[in-house]
Amino acid sequence: MILEVRDASAGYLGENVVRDVSFEVEEGEAVAIIGSNGAGKTTLFRAICGLLAKPRGSVIFDGEDLTRALPHRISKAGLVYVPAERHLFPQMTVSENLSLGAFPKRPDPETRGFILDLFPVLAERSRQQAGTLSGGEQQMLAVGRALMSKPRVLMLDEPSTGLSPKLAQDAYRALTVLRDRGMTLLMAEQQVPLALALANRGYVLENGRIQIEGTSEELASDPGVRHAYLGIA
């Protein structure tokens, strides 16, 4: 088990948004945290990555307790977060953004080559400022920048945010390549069909708590999930 989250509670201004959340991720699998907008997915991910003060519970990564670790230490350990907002450096070029993903190490040419093969448009736009890219291109760059650090677990918060249905499918095709290469993926997503098609297992987060868990097949056939997230009566 590469990531174990136990009884996590976190929020803002003293009010918990997520409460007593527990889940685990095995090395090499893809796991989805699904739920509607406002369910607490982003808060949960920010707590795991050390971006919220004083969360309760525990975060164990590859046997190491990172519950109170600072974000840079968590990232250095190999747990790398791609936020829904992407947080690129808009005045820097695509190439510069990718290089910064490897910091403080030197960019690895082989890793960069793999990323440019995965997202060919980034090679075409290498000298273009990140802020001038389309939403889909910015999403590709955000994932590519994270991959430059050679993460052990890639955490993606709403990777389909702001994308057209076609671009969202393209993004998930790239994530499928990463999954098939053995990368461990943890994603938060409200586009449930996309998430369940990629993930091995999933957890349904509602009102800040895990309500249902199971394999992707089990969740896809669950009446509550089918009604609430797949639009099937």
Question: Two tokens at 231?
Answer: 């639009």
User: For residue 53, what is the DSSP state?
Assistant: S
**How many other CB atoms are found less than 10 A from the CB of residue 215?**
13
Distance CA 119, CA 141 (A): 8
The contacts of residue 90 (CB under 8 Å, 6+ apart) are 129, 130, 131
Angle (deg, nearest 10), helices 109-118 and 165-180: 140
Kindly report the backbone phi and psi dihedral angles of residue 99, in degrees, each rounded to the nearest multiple of 5, phi listed first: -60, -40
CA 57 to chain CA centroid, Å, is 20
Distance CA 181, CA 204 (A): 26
User: Is 54 within 8 Å of 48 (Cβ atoms)?
Assistant: no
**How many other CB atoms are found less than 10 A from the CB of residue 89?**
14
Supply the pTM of this predicted model.
0.93
pLDDT for 228 equals: 82
pLDDT for 232 equals: 67
pLDDT for 13 equals: 83
Kindly report the backbone phi and psi dihedral angles of residue 139, in degrees, each rounded to the nearest multiple of 5, phi listed first: -65, -45
| Residue-level pLDDT, tens digit, the chain, 233 residues | 999 999 999 999 888 999 999 999 999 999 999 998 889 999 999 999 999 977 899 999 999 999 989 999 999 999 999 999 999 999 999 999 999 999 988 999 999 999 999 999 999 999 999 999 999 999 999 999 999 999 999 999 999 988 888 889 999 999 999 999 999 999 999 889 999 999 999 999 999 999 999 999 999 999 989 888 876 65
Distance CA 44, CA 35 (A): 12
Question: Taking Cα atoms as reference points, which of 198, 111, 178, 177 lies closest to residue 187?
Answer: 198
Question: Taking Cα atoms as reference points, which of 20, 116, 8 lies closest to residue 55?
Answer: 8
